[in-house]
Chain A
Amino acid sequence: MSSIPLGKGHETTAPARTNSAAAISQFLSAYVFSKDHKIIGLQFLFSTLLWFLVGGLLALGIRWQLAWPWTNMPIIGPMLFSETGGQISPEFYTMLFTMHATVMIFFVIIPILAGAFGNYLIPLMIGADDMAFPTLNMLSYWFMWPAFILVGSSFFMPGNGAAAGWTSYPPLSAVWDAAPSSGLAQTLWLIGITFVGVSSMMGSVNYMTTIIQMRAPGMTMFRLPMTIWGMFITAVLQAFALPVLTAAGFMQLLDRTIGTGFFLPEGLVINNSIAASGGGQPLLWQHLFWFYSHPAVYIMILPAMGMVSDIISCFARKPIFGYKPMVYSLCGIAGLGFIVWGHHMFVSGMSPMLGMTFMISTMMIALPSAVKVFNWLGTLWGGRIQYTTPMLFAISFVSMFVIGGLSGIFMAATPVDIFIHDTYFIVAHFHYVLFAGTAMAVMGAIYFWFPKMFGRMMNEPLGKVHFFLTFIFLNGTFFTMHILGAVGFPRRLADPYDYQTFAHLMPMNQFMSICAICMVGTQAIFAFNFFYSIFYGPACGRNPWGANSLEWMAPSPPGHGNFDFQPVVYRGPYEYGSPEVDTDYYPQTQPPPEGVDPNAEPDHH
């Protein structure tokens, strides 16, 4: 950024008009339609953080209804729903959880990991000057905008937004008469999601090519930081799984628009009208959808695992424990990730025989996850742990991921899943993985790489307060969901208290909602710290954390082209506390002292 010339037009006087036009076009190409991976990464970061706020507010709507059903929402209620006197209507509630999930998954988690951090970090961490295909990279960001606009405008269509669940199961999603929002809102949603897929696909091709082709001299695959491994495996997953979702999305779109009936069986009578087509199978959509969306669960966590590994090793001041097993377990998760989609469908009507097969593969995928947890603990063992804000977030990822991983075993077990399927036990599980896991890792990553992105440090005490409160409130919100799940409390009900089985659960829901409101409120501390530090944080040098990997050798923030020297890599990124040098870190680019074999492999035994 620092090396990009800006506003040159104002330095000369004559002819001002063409010069200001030139300045504008220069500004546009430098900051808007930029092909620089760092600018694109920051564009993704700012867009996704904004959507994070939207998704969080949608979640508060859900929590409001579950804690105080059919009561007037203070302040916001009368503005949004004047016709109901400020209450959330049941159709609005179904929209809330549909759009909360859509926004969080497609507009926040996937693009913030692959789009923001993938873009920013991949060329820097492998020692390249940019991505392999800069124009494609720019397009991958700008293809998000049709998605933002389409899904965003679905809020203003009849029904106030898609409301068939983020899984969009037909026939509910495919038949126009099935729900108030089944018209344009659902169509726009489908097209929007397709654009997200196209964007991810462009990114994925670029990441794979860049990582394979553009590594600096000496940067072998087994000297890559875990972050890059996470991004690489994620890109592979996207490349193989996304086409299926795109195809399925188009099939559903055709079902909706020209009546193909891929997913609609014969003889449907919906809302007293007869759906004309037939000959299809609703389960087909579920198979196709989860064939993408289960690997997508790993797309949403593997890069986070990678970033956490880097942060933990850096602040334990110690090499990562079992680098190769960590890489192999990432690959194992990715491979098994393709054959576990059926565990979303144990009670869907899928052959119960197949359920047994999927149970075994699902149980097995817990194994590489367990190996990773043990290796993170091994990394902490015998270190000299510095409790910085990024480190606290990274440790909390490990601690929380254990909960999310273990609760997965319950639902992998088919008989137990019969009872807990579609209850809050599931909701607890994926929020522990995606919020307490990935979102916390992303927070840690922002605190960690912020100095590189903006050349300034974020405020540490504020960061710790932010961490502490988020950590407390997230557990207050999500841990209790396990208990609700044990009672069988179902998801997606606008008013569960009508059932005698669940009527007594309202106080616990109120406790959770209060925690959730506080948790969202806490993020104001982060927002303040983030924006304040961009402008007023203390300036930092190239390597404020004393880290080893290549991005810390570049200027902060790096200029166009990234490095002001040609990085040559001598070792892996985790040689903290090496006896070969006096410092407690040992950058990848630092030549070894005389008499040390630069090609010696570290001892793994």
Chain B
Amino acid sequence: MGRFWSFLFLLVPVLGVAVFLWALLDLWPMQGHWLPENINDHGHVIDQLFMFILYLTGIIFVGTGGVLFWFMWKYDAAQNREPVKFTHGSHTLEVVWSILPAAALLFIAIYQMNAWADAKMRRPLDSLGPDGIEGTADDVYKPPLCEVTGRQFEWRIRYAGEDGIIGTADDLHVVNDLHLPVNEEVVVQITSMDVLHSFFLPNVRIKQDVVPGMKQFVWFKPNKQGTYDIVCAELCGWGHYKMRGRMVVESRDKFDAWIKNAYSEQERSEYIVSAGGSDE
């Protein structure tokens, strides 16, 4: 039976790699079973890092799987007539297989840092402020295009009115309908009014939990027009699954027209919107 069990464990790396290859190559029946289309100028970095780790771990996966198979095959008690190798270990080997993975892991960690800083720490600036030094308190941040507020179970979105400031009387209020101009660096302010939610844009490779009491920002540069999902990725209650928003990326002209149109509709139906905004 040793032969049989060896082959069973050989199936792990073989089928494991096959499943990933199948999905990567988009073959039947796994079309579309891979990273969704990326429409963020900064998002491809995350995809590249994902693939980099996939290849690296894939090599280890196949390597250890192969070695396991070979040992199971070769040292099967029913086949192997040699006496066991009576050894308690090897100092040299221990050192080698400690230092090599340590170096590889440290390299992976350091290699990720720039992408992480771009995604979460280097919020776009309008200017460096009077002192001209980045990272100081007088830096002028690029103002957010809109504010998204998570609420059980919808995304409330607020665009600044003509005064360019969010939180004034002339704001545009919409629900679950985020419109963005294409090919422009967009900053979105996100927050929550009740429980935790997570603002997840799969096609933009952005995910940020929204925390009540905290004001946070995400930024990205959508480069393709179309309609995409806004997903809530943090459990927020029984209706978590239906907290679905829509992100529409469109040309600047269309975007401006949409804002203008939506705003004028809002003016005409002011009372209806405010009355209908609090239903559940």
Please give the residue numbers on chain A whose beta carbons come within 8 Å of chain B beta carbons, in ascending order: 89-91, 93-94, 163-165, 169, 171-172, 175, 178-180, 265-272, 281-283, 316-325, 347-349, 352-353, 355-356, 359-360, 363-364, 366-367, 370-371, 373-375, 377-378, 380-387, 392, 395-396, 398-400, 402-403, 406-407, 409-410, 412-416, 418-423, 464, 468, 471, 475, 479-480, 482-484, 486-488, 490-496, 498-501, 504-505, 507-508, 574, 576-579, 584, 602-605
Contact = CB atoms under 8 A, between A and B. Distances in A.
A91 B208 CA distance: 24
A270 B194 contact: yes
A280 B144 CA distance: 27
Interface string B56-89: 1100110011011001100111001011111111
B270 interface: no
Given A171-B194, A414-B112, A380 B205 contact: no
Given A178-B195, A319-B87, A483-B30, A414 B116 contact: yes
A43 B222 CA distance: 59
Given A381-B75, A422-B207, A499-B244, A475 B89 contact: no
A270 B153 CA distance: 11
Interface stretch (B176-184, B211-219, B250-258): B211-219
Contacts of B19: 479-480, 482-483
Contacts of B234: 169, 422
Contacts of B198: 347, 422
Nearest to A471: B8
Given A323-B88, A363-B106, A402-B65, A496 B194 contact: no
A302 B184 CA distance: 50
A555 B84 CA distance: 29
A168 to B, nearest CB: 10
Given A171-B195, A347-B209, A386 B77 contact: yes
Q: How large is the interface on B (under 10, 10 to 19, 20 to 34, 35 or more residues)?
A: 35 or more
B44 to A, nearest CB: 11
B202 interface: yes
| Residue picked from A163, A487, A584, most chain B C-beta under 10 Å | A487
A367 B109 contact: no
Contact of A364 (B86, B105, B205, B231): B105
Contact of A359 (B20, B75, B109): B109
Given A371-B98, A413-B112, A605-B90, A94 B238 contact: yes
Contacts of A422: 198, 200, 207, 233-234
Contact of B2 (A349, A385, A403): A385
Contacts of B208: 347, 349
B120 A355 contact: yes
A386 B72 CA distance: 10
6 closest Cβ contacts across the A-B interface? A265-B213, A382-B85, A322-B89, A91-B238, A352-B120, A577-B84
Contacts of A360: 106, 109
Contacts of A373: 64
Contact of A382 (B75, B88, B106, B280): B75
A576 B228 CA distance: 62
Interface in B200-253: 200, 202-203, 205-214, 216, 227-229, 231-242, 244
B132 interface: no
B174 interface: no
A269 B83 CA distance: 73
Interface of B: 1-2, 5, 8-9, 12, 15-16, 19-20, 23, 29-36, 45-46, 49-50, 53-54, 56-57, 60-61, 64-65, 67-68, 71-72, 75-77, 80, 82-94, 97-98, 101-102, 105-106, 108-109, 112-113, 115-117, 119-121, 152, 193-196, 198, 200, 202-203, 205-214, 216, 227-229, 231-242, 244, 278, 280
Contacts of A505: 33
A359 B209 contact: no
B235 A164 contact: yes
A490 B209 CA distance: 13
A586 B214 CA distance: 63
Given A355-B120, A371-B94, A415 B112 contact: yes
7 contacts: A91-B238, A269-B193, A272-B280, A347-B209, A360-B106, A367-B102, A407-B57
B94 A270 contact: no
B50 A410 contact: yes
B237 A265 contact: no
A171 B212 contact: yes
B239 A90 contact: yes
A272 B143 CA distance: 30
Contacts of B231: 488, 490, 499, 501
A399 B112 CA distance: 28
Contacts of B203: 501
Given A371-B94, A577-B86, A377 B68 contact: yes
